[in-house]
Structure 1
């Protein structure tokens, strides 16, 4: 039997098995096709960006490895993104940081304007992609001491306030131009390496700065604001101003999306268990899906237990409509395009796995106290033919089935990446 026919036959057989439990596989795939993953641009060039390109990477961020082929220009980065998207099913978004401005003009980051990203917008229109955005409050002369929006120097605070305000306007421009709401996420690295004498003061300054950042009313159809916490970082081991408690309070009080990053909590703490609780009190959630092998190490996302649990929580709680899913990892030890493909495909797989569960049967067993059935069904469905459905979905979306995509990445490495000489 030809391979394409085998994929189809396997799919039909899998559909029949799932149908016995009332699961409409075709409907699940239609639903999956509506989910957009925001793929982070910074995997492609190791978080260097194109403004202040020679600046040292700071803010507790570290990228290890020297695999050849990192993007050196906006055009190279866009070409790499296109190659990755050609191997990933569905229609998605690109998440940009402010340092990725594509302009011939010399401009300081507090004076960035939408025009400095027009080439990105035109490309996104051509590719049918949405764009998300982030101010870049690191790798800059004015962030070298690890403080930005909470800095005791009012002039430095004002610089970063203006940068974040400019970033929101750029995000709104993206949303207006592309017809897809842009999520503009504010994360700052502010903190201290050793125990501070004053924990309250910096948080008061950060709150006041954020109030100024968000003072301009923007159309929520064009731009949604998010705030992101962190537990600690390199250089801020003792104290981070923007803790989870700080940003959860600020986000709830000011109706901002609260960003949960998989690596920004205690080493044994997971974000999957936070989703249902947070959903009761907020209008929306932003996820930064990563793999914190050793806390915030930002390894490429694999189909591990936590990713599967995130998928389950989003599907079982009907949270996909209020959750914006983005990726956040950077690995320079492997092919960067492959890293995007692996991480994004795995995130979509986790959602599909969750959509192919007998959710209502599991909930009914639980509410009636039939924990035997709950456990039995949960375990048996782990070996149901999910892979056959995934193969068919990839084929129907016109992307390679299973590891066939690796052949294309290897060819792209040989013909494009290896010639860059970096």
Structure 2
């Protein structure tokens, strides 16, 4: 006997089929998309190498909800719980400070061996891993500069750290059989108007050239560079601006990372995807929710997320786009934050697939803007929720808000037992 979820799904399939949309095929495509879930939501960007360091580089986490992960084992347990409530098989995005080792090791001396436990766990869970050098919250980044630092000794430290990070990323890709994206972001910039905008960018370009000098197997590791408009402590000038990294990425065949919170508050990244896709072999997305600034709120299914998904699907960009999440909220249950943000991202992609894109494009090409608008609006009310419920049920994860009860139980049984 069919469940109510299955019956609703069959009814929805018939409605979508009238417009030539194969819902079964949509769900097959959706299952192949991997979202890179960021580990730093689980412990408020503290990591395990320099846990006592104050957060710097414009990183700011608000709230003190109980249950933050204190050890790699706790963080992995929390990630497992979150993934058990999310349909599909995905990836985990690690920062360098999340090394799992008893050895006292500096960032510039990190090696793959310091992440062996993460790799063993990822193999066991069937997950991929992505990576990031951690160019913040360190004694040598406290003045706001890393790869563009005027002191060559400090610059050397960060160059060596980024080089080591690339090798760790390649190790992840080789061991797991899934390409690792290693993304470089640095907080470098001035709080007030600089006298010289060029020299720091010259130093950054030279440093990046050295970081990327060694050729690595692209099947194992892909390099990405990430820009930012401004940050706390770099309100007037950021060395790694969008224009800088756009030029550098295009010239050096690197993925250009577009972070939803790293642009002007009225600027969106959805409109940039089609242009960027014409000139690059790949794109990295950091899906976040800026609220007046780069505040990294938990991703909700808002207009910008839906527009990002629409551009990726209708522009046939999913094959060249790596989708990751980047937010941190300590005012709510951290596992719930992962689940909400990741499910919403997948849900938005599914909704974009459940639209008669060919009919809309044909109407537009024929100048029939009436049909374009009418269909766009009508499909906002089509039963995509029934398709999502079925996808969750089929994937063995909770349907609708049923996942919240599991998170609440996990909070009572596990998170509440953790001390400071």
Residue of 30, 54, 57 corresponding to 1:56: 54
In structure 2, the partner of 1:350 is 348
1:316 maps to 2:314: yes
Root mean square deviation, CA, Å: 0.6
- Counterpart residue number, 2:286: 288
SS in structure 2 at match of 1:104: coil
Shift in Å, 1:338 = 0.1
Provide the rounded CA distance (Å) in 1 between the counterparts of 2:380 and 2:95: 38
Residues 1:259 and 2:288 are matched in the alignment:
no
The aligned residue for residue 177 of structure 1 is 175
Q: Distance in 2 between matches of 1:195 and 1:139?
A: 24
Q: Deviations over 1:178-211 (max 9, x none)?
A: 0000000000000000000000000000000000
Q: How does 1:228-247 map to 2 (within 5 A)?
A: 228-247=226-245
Q: What's the counterpart of residue 91 of structure 2?
A: 93
Equivalent residue in structure 2 for 1:225, among 223, 233, 245: 223
**Matches of 2:419 and 2:152, distance apart in 1:** 43
Instruction: Report the 3-state secondary structure (helix = DSSP H, G, I; strand = E; otherwise coil) of the residue aligned with 2:243.
Output: helix
Partner residue, 2:145: 147
Note the alpha carbon deviations across 1:230-264, whole angstroms, 9 max, x for none: 00000000000000000000000000000000000
Per-residue CA deviation, residues 296-328 of structure 1 (Å, 9 max, x unaligned), is 000000000000000000000000000000000
| One of 147, 157, 160 as aligned partner of 1:159 | 157
Query: How far is 1:295 from its partner?
Result: 1.5
2-side partners of 1:401 and 1:421: how far apart? 32
Asked if 1:378 corresponds to 2:365, the answer is no
Q: Which residue matches 1:111?
A: 109
Q: Match of 1:36?
A: 34
* Structure 2 CA distance for aligned equivalents of residues 116 and 227 of structure 1: 24
Aligned counterparts, 1:394-405, within 5 A:
394-405=392-403
**Can you give the 5+ residue segments of structure 1 that lack an aligned partner in the other structure?**
none
Moved over 3 A (4+): none
1:104 CA displacement: 0.5
Displacement, 1:294? 1.7
Q: How far apart, CA to CA, are the structure 1 residues paired with 2:164 and 2:244?
A: 23
Paired with 1:167 and 1:85, the residues of 2 have a C-alpha distance of 25
SS of residue in 2 equivalent to 1:94:
strand
Q: Secondary structure at the match of 1:131?
A: strand
Specify which of 202, 206, 209 is matched with residue 208 of structure 1: 206
Inter-partner Cα distance in structure 2 for 1:360 and 1:181? 32
Q: Is 1:79 aligned to 2:60, yes or no? A: no
Instruction: Return the TM-score normalized by structure 2.
Output: 1.00
Q: Which SS does the other structure have where 2:308 is aligned?
A: helix
Q: Within 1, Cα distance between the matches of 2:201 and 2:107?
A: 24
> What residue number does 2:124 align with?
126
Q: Paired residue for 2:411?
A: 413
Match of 1:137?
Answer: 135
What secondary structure is seen at the aligned counterpart in 1 of 2:339? Answer: helix
Whole-Å Cα distance in 1 between the matches of residues 272 and 66 of structure 2?
38
SS at match of 1:259: strand
For the residues of structure 1 that align with 2:195 and 2:304, how far apart are their CA atoms?
Answer: 37
In the alignment, the residues of structure 2 paired with residue 25 and residue 418 of structure 1 have an alpha-carbon distance, to the nearest angstrom, of 41
Distance 1:322 1:262 in 2: 18
Alignment deviations for residues 118-155 of structure 1 (CA, whole Å, 9 cap, x no partner): 00000000000000000000000000000000000000
SS at match of 2:327: coil
Three-state SS of the structure 1 residue aligned to 2:3 is helix
Q: CA deviation at 1:16?
A: 0.1
> What's the CA shift for 1:293?
1.1
Q: How many residues align?
A: 420
1:13 is aligned, of 11, 14, 20, to: 11
Distance in 1, matches of 2:270 and 2:311, equals: 6
Report the 3-state secondary structure (helix = DSSP H, G, I; strand = E; otherwise coil) of the residue aligned with 1:258: strand
